Amino acid sequence: MKKLLIFASGDKVGGGSGFQKLVESVRDGSLNADIVGVVSNNAEGGVWKRAQELGIPFFHFPGPYTAENYQSYVAKTRADFIALSGWLKLVTGLPPERTMNIHPGPLPRFGGKGMYGHHVHEAVMEAFRRGEVFYSEVCMHFVTKEFDKGPVFFRCLVDISSDETPETLAKRVNEAEHKYQSYFTSLVVNGKIYWDGKDPGTLVGDMEWDFRSRL
């Protein structure tokens, strides 16, 4: 069984729900992996609290966020794959073909530095009100040295209603993240979706996992 290390900032008291869902999915058999730890830049935030409750090794990563420091956590846990789940720092030095991220908005338009959490939902809603977009998305992609630039291997559309707010959209996007993240993480960890880490055209799966589901 492949070893999976999770990076999750969990900057809020209630943060880390994506991390918890991944752990629960391992335990119910829907994610075929061994979670060897969770890394957070917040010493006692929501991720730390959930890790204690779930019995998962917790590692505090206060920075600096250098390639050597990222690599040290992978080395000490002997992780085969890395999942970013609400990790807000730029990643360097990790193998792009074995590092994946989940993003709460359409890529590439609503990605990049500073585009996380409520910033994404507010930007999507502003574009919706201008008639430029009609839905949001949950995207999963491999991780390169630039924020949100790696090849996307999964998209799930999330409809936007006329009375939507950034807060209500955030809730439904989060529900979609929890619904699909474990399944597609398992596909990557078990070699059903893969990439050579260099050429976006080498992304391989049974299809471009582009779910046109409506949530």
Catalytic residues: 103
Q: Which two tokens stand for residue 169?
A: 């959209």
Long-range contacts of 61-67 (CB under 8 A, 24+ apart): 61/7, 63/89, 65/89, 65/90, 65/91, 65/92, 66/92, 66/93, 67/92, 67/93, 67/94
Q: Which two tokens stand for residue 111?
A: 């990605």
Residue that is written with structure tokens 């992978």 in the block: 74
DSSP 160-202: --TT--HHHHHHHHHHHHHHHHHHHHHHHHTTSSB--SS-GGG
Q: Which two tokens stand for residue 195?
A: 């990439």
User: Which one-letter DSSP state was computed for residue 148?
Assistant: T
